[in-house]
Amino acid sequence: MSQIALFGNPNTGKTSLFNNLTGSYEYVGNWSGVTVEKKVGILRHQHIHIVDLPGVYSLHPLSRDEGVATEFLLTESFSAILNIVDASQLKRNLHLTVQLLEFGKPLIIALNMIDVAERRGVKVDVEKISQYVGVPVVPIIARTGKGIDGLVHAVLSTSKQEAQRFFLNYGIEVETAIHRISEQLPTELNLSKRWLALQFLEENQRVHEYLQASVDIGPLLEVRNRVQELIGRPLPQYIHDVREKWIVDVIEKTTIIAPKQPLTITERIDAIVTNKYLGIPIFLLFMYIMFMLTFDWLGSPLADLLDQFFSGPLTDGLSKLLSIVGASPFIKELVLNGIVSGVGGVLVFVPQIFILFFFISFLEDSGYMARVAMVMDRFMEAIGLNGKAFIPMIIGFGCNVPGVMAARTIEQPKERLLTILLLPFMSCSARLPVYALFVGTFFTKHEALVVFLLYVLGIVVALLLAKLFSSTLLKNESSIFVVELPPYRMPQALTLWRSTWDKGKGFVRKAGTFIFAGSVAIWLLTYIGPKGIGVGMDDSFLAAIGGVLAPILAPLGFGTWQAGASLITGFLAKEVVVSTMNIIYHAKNMDALQGLMVHYFTPLSAISFMTFVLLYIPCLATVATIHKETNSRKWTFISISCALCIAYLVSFSIYEGGKLLGFS
């Protein structure tokens, strides 16, 4: 089965195109670095694999997501390259195209965003450019799917086509050097020697390492130094300039550029949202509206409706059904007290989680994300990070796992590591049901405000920790911040919905699978005990397990075995904290549970508990991802233990401090 690789600059719509070609719904957004890992899909109705790769400006990796693309070229076998080119940014995009052409594999250019380009007054003559470059060029609009059929057609005919022959002359000195280097490369390398030689001359570190593994690098370095002396300026720059000249020439002959248009919408919006003084307040306002909608205006009423359904019709219906079938009390208890309480208790928060995801999707798709990075940079710089780190943090609000992955776009290893370490403090959507339950009980008048403050607390703790790490363990590395600001666009309703659904469905699926399993296990642990089956809750195994933690948690204000037990189960997935509480407290619905909780918690200890849940430990999936991304047990361990210590300290100070101040 042949494989086709999708290459292109960041934020040119590779993943949109990938989704269109394969009929899948991958994560798309409007900023650079949405895709950080390669993804494989199958071309619709064909036996061809399409590989989506992270966007790159050139083949020299500066950050880790870019490394994925270069690595792919060097080590994987594929039959053709599909190069997606942003028509409104031709000059910059073609630099990558030249490098890919030199690679020697069959290549098709998908000229994307022709609509955006035309609005900007750039008109590209597709046939002419195809002639000049010597490969098929297909105009498309990946967002709407226009031109995709033509592209599929081109892809299918190219898979039979022979390798294209692109040749750009770099002048006698460099050409001689390329020849010399090619001579020394072993024949068994499957890659174009000219391409390898050129990348080596350009000082591509990854290609350097690749060559080092198979040949003696000494003579090659000699060749490079000699030609550098002959030319009298840095080789990478020289090669860049030769390409630039060729590209300018191609563009001149194939496109018509109208004189500059008046102020675009993007510029007008930018004048406000990235305003010197209004920038940060606008961002905070956006966040505030998001929380109000999630918890106050829209989310809570919907959650109440769902809760009524679960506790009323659903429970009654199931109960009747079980009686008709003739189920034993054991089964009845298992279904009604175990599964319905456990799974239902989490599912009632689906509306709130979808609203939150909707906002995050909007942020991602509109182009505001990169602006947030810019607005926050000055602040982040002060704590030894850069504004780009804020993007993984926002994604982390949805789920920490993709947040940790998104940190790949950060160039400096130190900043990347730091960002990964502080991500678990970003309050993910799985923690939201815990807050919703507690604020619904104790802070009915200020639900949104309390949750907002919890989110802010998470950020503040993360930033303080970053400051601590960057001034102790991880100093001596300069920080780097350059970010591209994409034009704004109104997110399409369909994309927005799909993106929201994609994130939210994971939550629903988890409820049906793992939380179901967890509820059964927890219920079983409450049903059996050291003394036998069907014991009272306080004599159950779960009480024994939770009881071990209770004395340790007592100074935090919630020294009960119930709290201990739900925190332990919460490590597997944070939503389970709520499931466990529902089962333990035998609550039929959210109202009943909230009524019961007043006996076990005070408003102060509720805050302390929520804080502890926010900070105490990254969930299992996040821990595994941190381990994979940092490739270090040490840092994974530090991340967990740090979280535990900080959670304990913060909750302790909140509870004891609050008591001293006279709260209860």
Partner 1 sequence: MIANVVIGGAIFAYAGWMFVRHVKKSSQGTCASCSMADGCHGSCGTYEHRHKG
Partner 2 sequence: MFLTDLQQGKKAVITNLGMMNEVVKQRLIHMGLQEGEEICLKCVMPFGGPLMVEVCGQCICLRRKDAACIGVK
Which residues here bind partner 2, judged by CB under 8 A? 57-58, 60, 62, 88-89, 91-92, 95, 120, 240, 244, 266-267, 270-271, 274-277, 279, 370, 373-375, 377-378, 381, 387, 411, 478, 480-487
- Quickly list H helices, 234-367: 235-254, 265-273, 279-291, 299-309, 315-325, 329-333, 341-347, 350-366
* Gap between the terminal Cα atoms of the chain: 67
Cβ nearer to partner 1, comparing 448 with 619: 619
Residue 360 sits in the site that holds partner 1 (CB under 8 A): no
Cβ nearer to partner 1, comparing 24 with 264: 24
Question: Residue 644 and residue 612: Cα distance in Å, rounded?
Answer: 9
Binding partner 1 (rule: CB under 8 A), the pick from 2, 44, 71, 652 is 71
Cβ nearer to partner 1, comparing 65 with 86: 65
> How many Cα neighbours within 13 Å face the side chain of 357?
25
Residue 624 sits in the site that holds partner 1 (CB under 8 A): yes
Q: Rounded to the nearest whole angstrom, what is the least distance from the CB of residue 559 to partner 1 in the complex?
A: 29
Q: Which does 111 bind (CB under 5 to 8 A by kind): partner 2, partner 1, none?
A: none
Q: Rounded to the nearest whole angstrom, what is the least distance from the CB of residue 377 to partner 2 in the complex?
A: 5
Q: Which does 95 bind (CB under 5 to 8 A by kind): partner 2, partner 1, none?
A: partner 2
CA separation, residue 335 to residues 247, 526, 529, 541, 572 (Å) = 68, 14, 19, 20, 22
Residue 475 sits in the site that holds partner 1 (CB under 8 A): no
Decide: 181 and 201 in contact? Cβ < 8 Å.
Answer: yes
Residue 640 sits in the site that holds partner 1 (CB under 8 A): no
Q: Which residues pair with 138 in a beta bridge?
A: 110
Cβ nearer to partner 1, comparing 88 with 569: 569
CA separation, residue 591 to residues 332, 431, 432 (Å) = 22, 19, 17
Token duo for residue 378: 């000055």
Cβ nearer to partner 1, comparing 290 with 347: 347
The interface mask with partner 1, positions 311-340, x = CB under 8 A, is: --------------xxxx-xx--xx---x-
Cβ nearer to partner 2, comparing 128 with 240: 240
Decide: 89 and 9 in contact? Cβ < 8 Å.
Answer: yes
Mention every residue, 6+ apart, whose C-beta is less than 8 A from residue 489.
30, 365, 366, 367
Of 617, 300, 597, 626, the residue nearest 432 (C-alpha): 300
By CB under 8 A, the residues from 12 to 31 that bind partner 1 are 24-27
Token duo for residue 223: 């060749």
Q: Which does 202 bind (CB under 5 to 8 A by kind): partner 2, partner 1, none?
A: none
Q: Rounded to the nearest whole angstrom, what is the least distance from the CB of residue 436 to partner 1 in the complex?
A: 23
Binding partner 1 (rule: CB under 8 A), the pick from 44, 92, 627, 659 is 627
By CB under 8 A, the residues from 492 to 511 that bind partner 1 are 502, 506
Cβ nearer to partner 2, comparing 153 with 378: 378
Is 54 annotated as a binding-site member? yes
The interface mask with partner 1, positions 395-414, x = CB under 8 A, is: ----x-xx--x------xxx
Residue 39 sits in the site that holds partner 1 (CB under 8 A): yes
Instruction: Give how many residues touch partner 1 by CB under 8 A.
Output: 60
Question: Residue 77 and residue 74: Cα distance in Å, rounded?
Answer: 9
Q: Rounded to the nearest whole angstrom, what is the least distance from the CB of residue 422 to partner 1 in the complex?
A: 18
Binding partner 1 (rule: CB under 8 A), the pick from 59, 68, 457, 563 is 68
Which residue type sits at 384?
Answer: G
Is 292 annotated as a binding-site member? no
Place of tokens 């994300």: 369
Helix (H, G, I), strand (E, B) or coil at 461: helix
Q: Which residues pair with 139 in a beta bridge?
A: 111
Q: b/e for 440-451, b at 16 or more Cβ within 10 A?
A: bbbbeeebbbbb
Cβ nearer to partner 1, comparing 368 with 523: 523
Q: Which does 24 bind (CB under 5 to 8 A by kind): partner 2, partner 1, none?
A: partner 1
Residue 280: CB atoms within 10 Å: 15
CA separation, residue 143 to residues 31, 113, 492, 541, 553 (Å) = 14, 8, 9, 55, 52
Residue 208 sits in the site that holds partner 1 (CB under 8 A): no
Of 246, 259, 252, 241, the residue nearest 128 (C-alpha): 252
Residues that bind partner 1 (CB under 8 A): 24-27, 37-42, 49, 51, 61, 64, 67-68, 71, 76, 205-206, 209, 325-328, 330-331, 334-335, 339, 399, 401-402, 405, 412-414, 477, 502, 506, 513-514, 516-518, 520-521, 572-573, 619-621, 623-629, 631
Residues in the annotated binding site for Mg(2+) = 19, 22-23
